[in-house]
Amino acid sequence: MSDPVLEVTNLTKNFTVKSAKGLRVIRRTVQAVSDVSLTIGAGQTVGLVGESGSGKTTVGRCVLRLIEPTSGSVKFQGEELVGMKAEQLRGLRRQMQIVFQDPYASLDPKMTVGASIAEPLDIQKVPGNHSDRVAELLELVGLAPDHARRFPHEFSGGQRQRVGVARALALNPSFIVLDEPVSALDVSIQAGVVNLLQDLQSQLGLSYLFIAHDLSVVRHISDMVAVMYLGKIMEVGPAEDLYLRAAHPYTQALLSAVPEPDPVLERERHRIMLQGDVPSPINPPSGCRFRTRCPIAQERCAQEEPALVDRGQGHPVACHFPQSVPVAVHAR
Amino acid sequence: MSAALSVRDLRVSFKTLLGTVQAVRGINFDVEPGEVLGVVGESGSGKSVSFLGIMGLLGRSAVIEGSAKVGDVELVGASPRTMRKVRGSEMAMIFQDPLSALNPVHRVGAQVAEMLLAHQHDMTKAQARARAIELLDIVGIPQPDQRARQYAHEFSGGMRQRVMIAMAIANNPKVLIADEPTTALDVTVQAQILEVIDRIRKEMGTAVVLITHDLGVVARMADRVQVMYAGRVVERGDVHSIFQQPDHPYTRGLLHSLPGLGRERLTPIPGAPPNMLQPPSGCAFRARCAHATEACAGELPELVSVRRTETACVRATELEVIS
């Protein structure tokens, strides 16, 4: 693999939350992202999956420095972003863009779609005729050039998300964070947007950080997948390897919890049921963060935090007792 | 066996400034005791609205016609008094967002007890309180006697949905309508909630209508599946037939658009659902259908048995069999 586009090392993000106890205000620290490292190669898609509160969205925002990381390093094409001055960062932002989950909320209802797509060009003072570029971008995402004069409410959900993608592409980026880009769409529409993202990637040589909770879409689109739980990466590996040979009990439980659209498989399969909910990140469990819900937790798990290393599974797993039993899924 | 819920030619429309939106355009179905009927379709297909209409929860702009019977009680056109009696006792409904369905300033246990007291007039408050705790236990809430004294904001999303289920089953309804009950939840919590619903159906014999856009959830839970498009039922059958040998091009399209093993490329359904202010003539899916011919623009296709399912497609018998 050539030089990575993005290299994240030991990224940590703490948030301070205030809560009231009687009349006193108590400040507590939530570690939303804890010691996360990942690498995205040129033209590669890395999928980031996890349940709510896992920190996957925070990673996406930190990587673009939309929020300030607490510590760690984010290198984009070899340049360190953490601590970089604002002017310099603005220049680099041309190269890195984001697409959000809800295209309706991320487009200004009072601006025409064309103006929204041209806005990054205006901000970055790109010379040349912006309306030609807007027309070109609209065609690139499968819309018509004359759609530029319309307003967001005139579009369907899938079309609006295409507008969001066109805007992200306006400055010719090399890297895009896709934060749940298809979660709000119906499946028949979702498929078209997923195809579009894949086409654009091969046409333009884009790298993606694909954040989602839908494991089947992530599997379809990603080269590498990282599974997060309470701010930490639990397991990371090539997509197929991870799905077929998941070794972390959390990954296994997650995969076995996803209902597959196959009634025969669904009625036969062995399901690993996790008890309870994700604990509060304000007070995460000691040792392994998953241990309170883990079906195979032992004493060691409470004392010693497992490192994210390859223990002979073929890919890194943050578990003292990685499992080799494959999960009975995806037999279609 | 008589159906728990029997719906005939149900129509729901909304009067708006732009005209009448025909959200549901004549649907027929029965739900048998103890079965799970999965209702799938995309946003705007009428899957939620038909059940909100049956439950009398749509407000005044909605016009509801046809018939919907729970046991012998006709719900369409019923008096508010009858509806209040039926809702929560004969039929209950749970929703996607349990937080907005719970009262934030009342203790959770009291809200469950209120359901009991509203319908079981010979019950004392103390009995209702004790039964509420039992119900919280049935739906898998740990330490139910302590949790009953807490408020909704002290519960996680999954636990709130369990409370909703406890309220819904409090009076042993014949029919439980679950409208996207797990859409807002994480998958590991979704699995827990689906198990609770499944257990209740088995133990109490409740008929369950499971409305969802998630075909995986349907495959896991449903005995029969009803696919809706543009306010009509376009296909219906037992769960295995729907997934293994669907006949309607829309059902096939839905299944094909899912990511799956060995699929390099996904197959979207082109276009978008029609505007229900002016639904197209004939089959509403024809504008997006690869098999559409002139015949499809004629009459509204009715559900007929084709191979393993009932399908509302005039060309169903000509289409290639897939499996």
Which value does ipTM take for this structure? 0.86
What the block records as the tokens of A302 is 């409470």
Cβ of B195 within 8 Å of Cβ of A215? The answer is: no
> In chain A, helix, strand, coil percent, each to 5?
35, 25, 45
Asked if the C-beta of A263 comes within 8 angstroms of chain B's C-beta atoms, the answer is yes
Cβ of B217 within 8 Å of Cβ of A332? The answer is: no
- Assess contact for A161 and A185: CB atoms under 8 A: yes
Residue A277: which residues within 8 A CB-CB, separation 6 or more?
Answer: B156, B157, B158, B159, B189
Which position has the token pair 């997948």? A225
Instruction: Return the closest-CA partner of residue B112 out of B163, B52, B75, B155.
Output: B163
Asked if the C-beta of B277 comes within 8 angstroms of chain A's C-beta atoms, the answer is no
Distance CA A97, CA B322 (A): 42
The H or E element that residue A95 is part of is none
Per-residue pLDDT reduced to its tens digit, B195-244 = 999 999 999 999 999 999 999 999 999 999 999 999 999 999 999 999 99
Taking contacts as CB-CB distances below 8 angstroms, the residues of chain B near A265 are 219
Interface probe for B, chosen from A188, A210, A225 (most Cβ of B below 10 Å), is A188
User: Between B125-138 and B157-169, two packed helices, what is the crossing angle to 10 degrees?
Assistant: 130
In this complex, the residue of A215, A257, A261 whose CB is nearest that of residue B219 is: A261
Asked if the C-beta of A191 comes within 8 angstroms of chain B's C-beta atoms, the answer is yes
**Separation of CA A136 from chain center:** 28
Taking contacts as CB-CB distances below 8 angstroms, the residues of chain A near B240 are 263-264
Asked if the C-beta of A258 comes within 8 angstroms of chain B's C-beta atoms, the answer is yes
pLDDT at A327: 57
- Assess contact for B56 and B77: CB atoms under 8 A: no
Query: How does pLDDT run along chain A (332 residues), one tens digit per residue?
Result: 568 999 999 999 999 988 777 888 888 889 999 999 999 999 999 999 998 889 999 999 999 999 999 999 999 999 999 999 999 998 898 999 999 988 778 899 999 999 999 999 998 888 888 999 999 999 999 999 999 999 999 998 889 999 999 999 999 999 999 999 998 888 889 999 999 999 999 999 999 999 998 889 999 999 999 999 999 999 999 999 999 899 999 999 999 999 999 999 998 888 888 887 888 888 889 999 999 999 999 999 999 999 999 988 889 999 999 986 655 544 33
Q: Chain A: give the shortest CA distance to residue B199, in Å.
A: 15
Asked if the C-beta of B18 comes within 8 angstroms of chain A's C-beta atoms, the answer is no
Per-residue pLDDT reduced to its tens digit, B51-61 = 999 999 998 88
What the block records as the tokens of A121 is 């060009």
pLDDT mean over B150-172: 93
pTM: 0.90
Taking contacts as CB-CB distances below 8 angstroms, the residues of chain A near B190 are 257, 259
Query: Taking 70 as the threshold, does the pLDDT of residue B107 lie above it?
Result: yes
pLDDT at A190: 92
Cβ of B268 within 8 Å of Cβ of A191? The answer is: yes
Q: In chain B, positions 190-229, which contact chain A (CB-CB < 8 Å)? A: 190-192, 194-195, 213-220, 222
Cβ of A261 within 8 Å of Cβ of B216? The answer is: yes
Count CA atoms closer than 13 A to A235's CA, side-chain side.
29
pLDDT at A23: 83
Cβ of A277 within 8 Å of Cβ of B214? The answer is: no
Q: In chain A, positions 193-212, which contact chain B (CB-CB < 8 Å)? A: 194-195, 198
- Assess contact for B118 and B134: CB atoms under 8 A: no
Q: State percent of chain B over pLDDT 70.
A: 98
In this complex, the residue of B188, B213, B240 whose CB is nearest that of residue A274 is: B188
pLDDT mean over B164-173: 95
Distance CA B81, CA B242 (A): 39
Cβ of A220 within 8 Å of Cβ of B263? The answer is: yes
Q: Chain B: give the shortest CA distance to residue A43, in Å.
A: 17
pLDDT at A331: 38
Q: Chain B: give the shortest CA distance to residue A92, in Å.
A: 32
Taking contacts as CB-CB distances below 8 angstroms, the residues of chain A near B158 are 277
Instruction: Return the closest-CA partner of residue B112 out of B74, B154, B168, B66.
Output: B168
The H or E element that residue B106 is part of is none
What the block records as the tokens of A189 is 């529409």
- Assess contact for B103 and B111: CB atoms under 8 A: yes
pLDDT at A203: 95
How many CB atoms are located within 10 Å of the residue B305 CB? 12
What DSSP state is assigned to residue A317? Answer: B
User: Between B187-204 and B157-169, two packed helices, what is the crossing angle to 10 degrees?
Assistant: 10
Q: Chain B: give the shortest CA distance to residue A287, in Å.
A: 22
Which position has the token pair 């601006």? A111
Distance CA A155, CA A147 (A): 9
Taking contacts as CB-CB distances below 8 angstroms, the residues of chain B near A259 are 190-191, 194, 214, 216-217, 219-220
Query: Taking 70 as the threshold, does the pLDDT of residue B322 lie above it?
Result: no
